[in-house]
Amino acid sequence: MRHIIAAAGLLIAFTSHGFATESQPVDTQPPEPQHRLVIQVDHNDRHTMDFALTNATDVIEYYRGLDQTVAVEIMACGPGLHMLRIDTSPVKERIKRIRESASPSRIQFSACNNTKENMEKKEGRPLEMLPGTMIVPLGVVRLLELQEKGWSYVRP
């Protein structure tokens, strides 16, 4: 009888302990932004690059004023890749300032690897991108995949 009572006590202890200490898993990932925007730059034109950066900063500031989060990605391909090249970017200082001030919103700059490889073949040397640039296999596929995930698309 003593064994039955002890077993019942253990069963109650384990059952109540399980309910008392059950917790939700801790999410270490930052929350998904409330808004997501991808901006394509495909022209080697300072005005187009500045316009894309202005669009990005305006969107970030707008949602910051509403206390909402936004993720912005500027995807450079074709001649627009010059925007993210260390040696030819006419806007590299502005990109640096935007990266430093975007938090808590996120800004990402991505470069089409297909374009990069073609430029490297033509120029006969490897190209270096601005720090923090994400290289994507194919720019148009990146745009497609982001839009399929609900990102809004803008091309200045």
Give per-residue pLDDT as tens, 48-107.
Answer: 999 999 999 999 999 999 999 999 999 999 999 999 999 999 999 999 999 988 776 799
pLDDT tens column, 110-154: 999 999 999 999 999 999 999 999 999 999 999 999 999 999 999
Asked if residue 67 belongs to a domain, the reply is yes
Instruction: Count the domains in the chain.
Output: 1
Q: Is residue 30 part of a domain?
A: no
Residue 21 lies in a domain: no
Look at residue 59 and tell me if it is in a domain. Answer: yes
Residue 111 domain boundaries? 35-154
Q: Is residue 29 assigned to a domain?
A: no
Tell me which residue of 116, 84, 81 sits closest to 99, measured CA to CA.
Answer: 84
Left (φ > 0), alpha (ψ -120 to 50) or beta: where does 67 sit?
left
What H or E segment, with its residue span, contains residue 75?
A: strand 70-76
71, β-bridge pairs: 36, 106
For residue 104, whether the previous peptide bond is cis, meaning omega lies within 30 degrees of 0, is yes
CB 22 within 8 A of CB 132: no
What's the sign of the alpha-carbon dihedral 102, 103, 106, 111? positive
| Overall average pLDDT of the 2-28 stretch | 48
Does 6 reside within a domain?
A: no
Whether 84 is covered by a domain: the verdict is yes
Which domain CATH number covers 69?
Answer: 3.40.1260.10
CA 9 to chain centre: 53
Residue 15 lies in a domain: no
Q: Contact 65/35 with Cβ under 8 angstroms? A: no
